Amino acid sequence: MLWLNFKRVVRTGFVQFWRNGVVSLSAVLVMIVTLFVIGGLLFSSALLKSSLSEIKDKVDVNVYFVTSASEEQILEVQKSLEALPEVDFVEYVSRDQALSDFIDRHANDQKTLEALEELDENPLGAVLNVKAKETSQYESVAQFMEANYSSSDPNSIVEQVNYFKNKDAIEKLSQIISAGEKLGFVITIIFIIISIIITLNTIRLAMYISKDEIHVMKLVGASQTFISGPFLVTGAMYGVVSSILTLILFWPLAYWLGPVTKSFFGGISIFEYYISDFGKIFLIILCSGIIIGSVSSLLALNRYLKYKRRK
């Protein structure tokens, strides 16, 4: 009996979707917009994440050593830094490497290179580039350096820790990153709510057209489940069809925007993201479509379904 009813409900839902072609088309079009917003937010959050990690990657603390510091002393500092739990890794740049990097950087600046040649010896000290696990942890790394190898001590081998120079910029960046993540989340939620309301209203309009039909179904003795089932299936169909169309539309768009996003955001291209994470994107869009379509149908149906008798 249950299976028989289920089969009837699904069959009627499909037939309803097909025969109410114009209503289905308008619901599908509105849902495409909603799913487009959800998909767009998926893409932009992936872009934001990748460009944030790019920026985070560029943040580090550099410890500059005096030129007289021996390699053993520097490696000892490197070891003690690596022992800190906050530190991800420490890169050692020797004096020679620092000089060659400097020359490379100023390859087009003839005057600086000439001035460098005038000097008898390499004026650059070795550098340790310290990478912390989180941007917020740079402060404690810098404090550790200050406590153990204070640059203000005349005997210290450390000439300068550039964190204090960059402190404001790093703090600002940390704040921007965390605010960006929060703002992105809030905007996502607001957009999704707005799109769901628009979809709900479109489906409500579709239900309004069917209200006489629902009344007749009630009069011939159909139960609430038997009436609402096909509408639920039709709502889910709106979701399935519109999610497939949305994914098809995203393909050329991602292909076209891919190179632009890659050069602008510096991280991944959205086309690569679309291809590599297709399964995840497909599931999110499809499930959102089915849930929004069927829940909107149920909410819209609710007012016509109840056995409300006027006293």
Site of interaction with other proteins (CB under 8 A): 1, 4-5, 8, 15-16, 19-20, 212-213, 215-224, 226, 307, 309-311
Closest approach, Cβ 212 to other proteins, in A, equals: 7
Closest approach, Cβ 222 to other proteins, in A, equals: 4
Task: Output the CA torsion 135→138→139→140 (10° steps).
Answer: 120
| 3-class SS of residue 56 | helix
Closest approach, Cβ 309 to other proteins, in A, equals: 4
- Nearest CB to other proteins, comparing residues 19 and 111: 19
Q: Using the CB atoms, write b or e for 164-175: b if 16+ within 10 Å.
A: eebeeebeebbe
- Nearest CB to other proteins, comparing residues 194 and 209: 209
Q: Report the Cα 8 to chain-centroid distance in Å.
A: 42
- Nearest CB to other proteins, comparing residues 187 and 209: 209
- Nearest CB to other proteins, comparing residues 54 and 213: 213
Closest approach, Cβ 225 to other proteins, in A, equals: 9
Closest approach, Cβ 29 to other proteins, in A, equals: 20
- Counting Cβ atoms within 10 Å, is residue 279 exposed (0-12), middle (13-18) or buried (19+)? exposed
- Nearest CB to other proteins, comparing residues 21 and 279: 21
DSSP strands (E only) in 86-175: 87-93, 127-132, 158-161
DSSP strands (E only) in 33-118: 61-65, 87-93
